[in-house]
Structure 1
Amino acid sequence: MPFFRRMEETAQRPVEEKPEPLAELRKAIAEARLPEHARQAVTKELERLDKTDPSVAEYSVGYNWVQFVLALPWNAATPDNLDLARAERVLNEDHFGLSRVKERVLEHLAASIMVSSRPRRVLVVDDERIALDNMAYVLGKDGHEVLTAENGRQAMEVLARTECDLVITDLKMNQMDGLELLERLKAASPQTELILVTGFATVDTAVNALKKGAAHYLPKPLNLDVLRSVSRDILDAKAKSRVARGPILCFSGPPGTGKTSIGRGVAAALGRKFIRLSMAGLRDEAELRGHRRTYVGAMPGRILAELKRAEVNNPVFMLDEVDKIGKDFRGDPASVLLEVLDPEQNRRFLDYYLDMPFDLSGVMFITTANIVEELPRPLYDRMEAIPFQSYTPLEKRRIARDYIAPRQMHGAGLRTKDLIFTDAALDTVIDGYTREAGLRNLDREIGSLCRKVDRQVLAGKLRLPASLDAAEVTALLGPPRFRPEAAARADAVGVATGLVYSEYGGQILFIETARMTGGGGLMLTGSLGEVLKESAQTALSYIRSRAGELGIAPNFFKECDIHVHIPAGAIPKDGPSAGVTIAVALVSLLSDRPARSDVAMTGEMTLSGRLLPVGGLREKLLAAQRAGVVTVVLPKANEIEWRVLDEDVRQAVRVVFAETAIDAIEEALQR
């Protein structure tokens, strides 16, 4: 019957055997280009799994570990694009301004390109002409610059004239053998690697050569393919270590100034993949280094996990917000970064889950921070800080018109010709609705304008194309949220305007003073730090010691108390740069001379009245401009730094340089 016939045919058909999971792993291990130590580790683990019951938990843990090892990019790398002109073009296309930052990044890339493109020079030494020619020929085919010598003495003469990356030498030669050449080479040029080749291979000879510093030991008859492979690995590792020995770049500056986007631009310029890992709030060391496999639910650290996801071992890896790393009983993540960012140690980075060294020297690490002073000192010493400064109003207008507005219009369904932002409209958004060093709020406000225009168009209240001016911006966004504080304030006794720099850029602050009947007390309020309190004490002591010169009664402090307050009270404040501002406010109070509201100042003051230089000069000047300040008093010691600032920053406000507190007081108080 047909039914039973089909059953018989099915029974006779051979059953397709599914490949065993361990067989698949064996095949994957055989095909993978694993380092020798990794190959030995996974082979040993595979032997253990072969003897383990698949139903027990240890079997799945070991199986997952082997899969993770095989998935890591031990040898996979993207080739670098070594065109510096293209790199400069990529950075300029995506980023306006930041000229000093881009210049320093291009210098870093130029050094990496020079190291990567340097020809690899190999010296081949052998007294047998045929063997010498054969080795020189195959190495030349790989693109190496090959030099030759027929004995060790000739080799030392060549090395005295020319630096070589690798020496391949025979062991038995006339005049000077390979071992003596090895000893002299390591004494004269320790960075040059050496491969020893011999037809008299013994274990003792090999061990002796490796102890003396030989990179490898090959027996004769020589397999030229093995020689090419070993030479290539040694030269690749050396080139990688040279590139990795450059400084780790740390992009520092206020939020929204382009730190992350410049990192992406570096990756695009080099043709590498980009990885970003936020370090903010990270408190557990195991997040970076992983958990040991003995723990339930053990996982690798974030660094190796990201490399596995990227599938290459040489991405641009950005460690974002490293100044906000935490620390508690679970460990110190910053200590892990000491190993990750140190070129001497990251070639053998140990993840607890992997439990074997992994080479991170090919990774280009870039870190970002808002305040580099909050980084642990040993970590900061491994990095080169590149400061990202505040954008000027002109730069913001140009970026808004050429970059932000077209992107936001596209996101709102508008074409670039549908909506035109006049310069007055952009200036109104910048000055009246954003108060920042970067561009994030400006991006939000322009996006909000585009969406409001969409609603006006759909309601029939606006026809495209349209042009927005300052009045229409105010009508759409409402009353301006910011106004020039200094310009809106009248001159007052006991109130002076200072300039400060924080992680959010430059800002102005008002120092208010008051006196009342009392017995010589000094009250300080406004969430002040110890350094700022000491600055106030110094300013008061200076005024008491110079009371007659300043036109103040010598015994003023016996009959009154003085109160110094710095709004806003909920915001912590510290630093020495407000010393001269406190002194001006106190002199104004005690001499009844109003302080000019259009004058702001910054500078640390000593007990003798000298003004010391301060940092954040560019950001403070831009903050003064935003606040409507006309004149800024700076320490004379900052004049050199002021002269190298951009022209539009120097012209933003009138600058007066003061050597002493007396000079600042005379400029800031009404005459």
Structure 2
Amino acid sequence: MTANYLKMPLLPLRGLIVFPSMVLHLDVGRDKSIASLEQAMLADQYIFLASQKKMNSDDPSSADIYNIGTVAKIKQITKLPNGTQRVLVEGFYRAEVIRYLEEEENFIVEAEEKEEIVGDSYETEALMRTLLEQFQQYIKVSRKLTDETFETVGDIDHPGRLADMITSHLSLKLDDKQEILECFDVTERIHKLLDIIADERKILSIEKKIGQKIKTSMEKTQKEYYLREQLKVIQKELGDRDGRTGELEQLRTKIEQSDMPERITTVAMKELGRYEKVPQSSAESSVIRNYIEWLVALPWQTKTEDNIQMKKAEKVLNADHYGLEKVKERILEYLAVQKLTNTIKGPILCLVGPPGVGKTSLAKSIANAIDRNFVRISLGGIRDEAEIRGHRRTYIGAMPGRIMQGMRRAETVNPVFLLDEIEKMSNDFRGDPSSAMLEVLDPEQNHNFSDHYIEETYDLSNVLFIATANNINSIPEPLLDRMELISIPGYTEVEKLHIAKRHLIPKQIKENGLTKSKIQIRESSIMKLIRTYTREAGVRGLERQIATLCRKAAKELVSDESKDRIIITDRIVEEYLGKPAYRYGLIEEENQVGAATGLAYTTAGGDILSIEVTHYPGKGSLKLTGKLGGVMQESAQAAFSYVRSRTEQLNIEPDFYEKYDIHIHVPAGATPKDGPSAGITIATALVSSLTGRPIKREVGMTGEITLRGRVLPIGGLKEKALSAHRAGLTTIILPEDNEKDIEDIPESVREGLQFIPVKHLDEVLEIALVKEDEPNES
């Protein structure tokens, strides 16, 4: 460090710039910023103040901070009750960051003081007078500054400090203030400030003109309101032939021509009589009018005739969806029962699966298959019971719940009604919407559904309700009991390939203005997209990648008129989309000690989970990292206890728990992980680490473990098998009780995997660990 450089902590500021000679308070709350303050107080109390380039950055790096700032001295620090610190600082001089010495715990920089350049004294004096005069004119047109502000800067005799103080009082953008701060030549600084003040005066002048126009417009509006009120009185005296009477007649005609039953018509006519008596200026008038409009708009008896033809329904489902044979078979069974019983009463279908597997489109296909109207509402984020049951008609802005809104859009009493993301409803002090949903979905109750806004009971028994969910764990048991679950797992690679060729590619070619003659995507390129550019259970990400290819092809065709056709090859895929985002096959490249591959079930389908264990000299502590949930932590504890109880049989040092610390880690620590099926995976990795025996890289496993080493059954085997197949595993160890679930796995996946059912952990270790006399092949 040279003699001209100063080492000091840096405090990044948000939306604020401190100039030399300024004294002001700062509220500091970020950990790195507080650390900078503490380090400055331990030294000479000097700190470098520089502004962030973006205000919304909570954790800025050195690239996000301006290099030019102000060296200030900390005068006072006060700790506030909310944990922040209020700091009084005084700016001294401008400085520039030469380099950053530290960025992790807090910012430490080497800074160089920047000297101000003062020009000719006569020119400077003239500029100062001009600047004061322009600032005084600015204050006259500004509503935010007073004459006292001018008096505070009028006595400053140093030109640079005068420019800085005036800049601090102006309502400028951060970039403009930073430009003034970075101007070391005082003459140039004053010239720039004069230009800025001139522009601000023009803007304020325009704002003043706009304000005058608005005032004139408001006076005109008030005048028109007065004339309209006079007109109402005149119309009332004349019998109101063309005024409110006409509106009342329109409403009466709507009521008479609607399909409302007699009891609802009576209610509507009664409300119409109230509406006629209430003054139109009253807030209650609009409430009554809206209520009548809702009664008229709702379908009460209009319905579509069901046209359940099994061959047609099967054809529609097959045309809209590839694969999902068991799902489509269950839907056809459901429709067959509806046709024979001629009633909707029965289980409510709930399509469960990860995002992008076609749950919503399946519901649309069911509606198309039986010629019913289709309506969808999203329940994600609903936490107020009134969202389902509606608001009571006691205030302006009240409205019916989502169910009644959906029925209005459906226009018939027997639509296919999709309740999307039903598991994402929550509850708070405003009520539990899932409890209100019980009445909607219960066939024994929904013929008399009561909405708080409509007040009159509404018959929902003719509606075919279909729900969708990504994960059923958060659905309350009573609500779950009213639904029949149909699981839609992820697609295999072969199914994704056919879906892309039959549905996604033709759709994106059309949406991007192309034709089949202008673009061709080879089958190998589609597989490359599936394997190395997407990692998902559904096909939503695949469709986005295909859309990107189509857009880029369209751009190239338009830019180069000599081209009339583009063939998407593997090389073109990389040219358009960049390097692959994922590595096809996530298994280890060679057998590893202490690293086991587990199979997990997530809301996005199946996935593989690497579990790593290492040990080192210590005092026997067990450390768990990777953001593990409570159930997974208990599995680790159980595995650790089992290994301690079997040291002799496993050929492990009996006192290892006194000599070594054990660290169990599941990578991707930013993702929460929980569930009961990682027990045997953790135990296998632990034994491998302590014995030094590698784990076979092609083996994946799933199952819970007891303290006696028994392997308990798990769920989601189909999704886990799909993820193992995608990752390139060849062997899956699973609980013996789950052997029956192997039949649910697609045959194309079963052919590439060997399933080994086990009862005890000893069997797992025998299969997964490389034997001592067996070569450790990669």
TM over 0.5: yes
User: Deviation per CA, 1:244-268, whole angstroms, max 9, x where unpaired?
Assistant: 3211100100000000000000111
Does 2:492 align with 1:392?
Answer: yes
Letter paired with 1:20: G
User: Which residue of structure 2 aligns with residue 264 of structure 1?
Assistant: 364
2:617 to 499, 517, 522: 517
User: Which residue of structure 1 aligns with residue 298 of structure 2?
Assistant: 72
Does 2:461 align with 1:361?
Answer: yes
Pair 1:41–1:434, CA change in 2 (3 A): same
Letter paired with 2:324: L
Letter paired with 1:467: I
Which whole-Å CA distance do the structure 2 matches of 1:61 and 1:398 have between them? 54
User: Equivalences for 1:110-149 in 2 at 5 Å?
Assistant: 110-116=336-342
**Partner SS for 1:106:** helix
User: Which residue of structure 2 aligns with residue 49 of structure 1?
Assistant: 275
- Higher mean alpha-carbon deviation, 280-289 vs 412-421, is at 412-421
Which whole-Å CA distance do the structure 2 matches of 1:428 and 1:52 have between them? 69
User: Equivalences for 1:85-104 in 2 at 5 Å?
Assistant: 85-104=311-330
**Partner SS for 2:473:** helix
User: Equivalences for 1:89-488 in 2 at 5 Å?
Assistant: 89-116=315-342, 243-460=343-560, 463-484=563-584, 486-488=586-588
Which whole-Å CA distance do the structure 2 matches of 1:500 and 1:475 have between them? 34
**Partner SS for 1:632:** strand
Does 2:261 align with 1:35?
Answer: yes
User: Which residue of structure 2 aligns with residue 179 of structure 1?
Assistant: none
User: Which residue of structure 1 aligns with residue 287 of structure 2?
Assistant: 61
Q: Does the aligned pair in 1 maintain the 2:380–2:425 contact within 8 Å?
A: yes
Letter paired with 1:422: R
Q: Does the aligned pair in 2 maintain the 1:521–1:562 contact within 8 Å?
A: yes
Which whole-Å CA distance do the structure 1 matches of 2:485 and 2:564 have between them? 47
Q: CA deviation at 1:592?
A: 0.6
User: Which residue of structure 2 aligns with residue 84 of structure 1?
Assistant: 310
Letter paired with 1:595: I
Which whole-Å CA distance do the structure 2 matches of 1:372 and 1:276 have between them? 20
**Partner SS for 1:291:** coil
Q: CA deviation at 1:469?
A: 2.6
Letter paired with 1:89: K
Which whole-Å CA distance do the structure 1 matches of 2:247 and 2:552 have between them? 59
User: Deviation per CA, 1:454-477, whole angstroms, max 9, x where unpaired?
Assistant: 233334398343433323322322
User: Equivalences for 1:580-591 in 2 at 5 Å?
Assistant: 580-591=680-691
Does 2:771 align with 1:545?
Answer: no
Which whole-Å CA distance do the structure 1 matches of 2:662 and 2:290 have between them? 70
Which whole-Å CA distance do the structure 1 matches of 2:719 and 2:558 have between them? 42
2:603 to 503, 509, 516: 503
User: Which residue of structure 2 aligns with residue 670 of structure 1?
Assistant: 770
Q: Does the aligned pair in 1 maintain the 2:733–2:758 contact within 8 Å?
A: yes
Task: Extract unaligned runs of 5+ from structure 2.
Answer: 1-237, 772-778
**Partner SS for 2:610:** strand
Return the TM-score normalized by structure 1: 0.76
User: Which residue of structure 2 aligns with residue 661 of structure 1?
Assistant: 761
Letter paired with 1:516: Y
Which whole-Å CA distance do the structure 2 matches of 1:259 and 1:417 have between them? 32
Q: CA deviation at 1:16?
A: 11
Which whole-Å CA distance do the structure 1 matches of 2:691 and 2:487 have between them? 42
Q: Does the aligned pair in 2 maintain the 1:493–1:589 contact within 8 Å?
A: yes
Q: Does the aligned pair in 2 maintain the 1:277–1:320 contact within 8 Å?
A: yes
Q: CA deviation at 1:57?
A: 2.5
Which whole-Å CA distance do the structure 1 matches of 2:571 and 2:561 have between them? 16
Letter paired with 2:720: K
Which whole-Å CA distance do the structure 1 matches of 2:496 and 2:441 have between them? 34
Letter paired with 1:60: S
User: Deviation per CA, 1:31-67, whole angstroms, max 9, x where unpaired?
Assistant: 4342233133223323333443334232332232122
Q: Does the aligned pair in 2 maintain the 1:486–1:598 contact within 8 Å?
A: no
Letter paired with 1:440: R
Letter paired with 2:326: R
Q: Which has the higher contact order (CA 8 A, sep 6+)?
A: 1
Q: CA deviation at 1:96?
A: 0.7
Q: Does the aligned pair in 2 maintain the 1:487–1:597 contact within 8 Å?
A: yes
Q: CA deviation at 1:430?
A: 0.4
User: Deviation per CA, 1:285-305, whole angstroms, max 9, x where unpaired?
Assistant: 212221111112211112112
Letter paired with 2:332: L
**Partner SS for 1:447:** helix
Which whole-Å CA distance do the structure 1 matches of 2:248 and 2:422 have between them? 42
User: Which residue of structure 2 aligns with residue 167 of structure 1?
Assistant: none
User: Deviation per CA, 1:314-347, whole angstroms, max 9, x where unpaired?
Assistant: 1111110111112112211111101111111111
Q: CA deviation at 1:20?
A: 3.3
Aligned residues: 532
Pair 1:656–1:68, CA change in 2 (3 A): same
Q: Does the aligned pair in 2 maintain the 1:486–1:597 contact within 8 Å?
A: no
User: Which residue of structure 2 aligns with residue 578 of structure 1?
Assistant: 678
Which whole-Å CA distance do the structure 1 matches of 2:648 and 2:564 have between them? 70
1:621 to 721, 724, 731: 721
Return the TM-score normalized by structure 2: 0.66
Once the two structures are aligned, what percentage of the paired residues are identical? Answer: 47
**Partner SS for 2:350:** strand
Which whole-Å CA distance do the structure 2 matches of 1:478 and 1:67 have between them? 55
Which whole-Å CA distance do the structure 2 matches of 1:431 and 1:112 have between them? 41
Letter paired with 1:392: T
Q: Does the aligned pair in 2 maintain the 1:622–1:652 contact within 8 Å?
A: no
Q: CA deviation at 1:647?
A: 1.0
Letter paired with 2:435: S
Which whole-Å CA distance do the structure 1 matches of 2:663 and 2:262 have between them? 72
Pair 1:464–1:24, CA change in 2 (3 A): closer
Which whole-Å CA distance do the structure 2 matches of 1:23 and 1:454 have between them? 56
Q: CA deviation at 1:488?
A: 4.8
- Higher mean alpha-carbon deviation, 489-498 vs 46-55, is at 46-55
Pair 1:535–1:487, CA change in 2 (3 A): closer
User: Which residue of structure 2 aligns with residue 528 of structure 1?
Assistant: 628
Q: Does the aligned pair in 1 maintain the 2:611–2:664 contact within 8 Å?
A: yes
User: Deviation per CA, 1:192-218, whole angstroms, max 9, x where unpaired?
Assistant: xxxxxxxxxxxxxxxxxxxxxxxxxxx
**Partner SS for 1:92:** helix
User: Deviation per CA, 1:530-578, whole angstroms, max 9, x where unpaired?
Assistant: 1111111111111111111111122221211211111111111111100
Which whole-Å CA distance do the structure 2 matches of 1:471 and 1:632 have between them? 34
Which whole-Å CA distance do the structure 1 matches of 2:567 and 2:259 have between them? 61
Letter paired with 1:315: P
Which whole-Å CA distance do the structure 2 matches of 1:461 and 1:565 have between them? 56
Letter paired with 2:644: R
Letter paired with 1:658: V
Q: Which of 1 and 2 has greater Rg?
A: 2
- Higher mean alpha-carbon deviation, 387-396 vs 559-568, is at 559-568
Pair 1:33–1:411, CA change in 2 (3 A): closer
**Partner SS for 1:372:** coil
